[in-house]
Amino acid sequence: MFSSRFMPCPDCGASLDLAERDEHTCLHERWLEYEIFRLRDEIAQLDSQLRRYLASPRGRFETWYAERRRDRRPPNGSPQQPPQEPPQEP
């Protein structure tokens, strides 16, 4: 059987010499690319899942409600603050 002295890092997928495996530190960018690669099927399904959800009764309500909330924002774009209750006198 063929055996290699190089194996992929389980966290970032980098090819590592077995002798140097203990000293390896994953680079954040490499780890992120590997995570995206591992999740590629789920990422590909996201668009169709979102479309199905937005076509459902709950999704249509959420869309309507988000538009309604957006239309009620003041001109400066900040969300409306709830009215403050006056301080209670002792």
Strand partners, 15: 8
Same structural domain for residues 21 and 46? no
**How far apart (Å, rounded) are the C-alpha atoms in residues 64 and 79?**
17
What confidence tens digit (pLDDT) does each residue in 41-68 have? 999 899 899 999 999 999 999 999 999 9
Find the mean pLDDT for residues 27-40: 94
Domain that includes residue 18, residue range = 1-38
Round the average pLDDT of the chain to a whole number and report it.
86
pLDDT of the residue at 41:
92
pLDDT of the residue at 90:
61
Is residue 67 situated within a structural domain? yes
Q: Answer yes or no: is pLDDT of 27 > 70.
A: yes
Same structural domain for residues 13 and 34? yes
In one-letter notation, the amino acid at residue 51 is R
Is residue 90 situated within a structural domain? no
Same structural domain for residues 9 and 32? yes
Same structural domain for residues 8 and 23? yes
Closest by Cα among 49, 9, 61, 4 to 33: 9
**Residue 26 phi, psi dihedral angles, 5° rounding:** -70, 135
Write down the pTM of the prediction: 0.50
Is residue 81 situated within a structural domain? no
Domain count, the chain: 2
Is residue 69 situated within a structural domain? yes
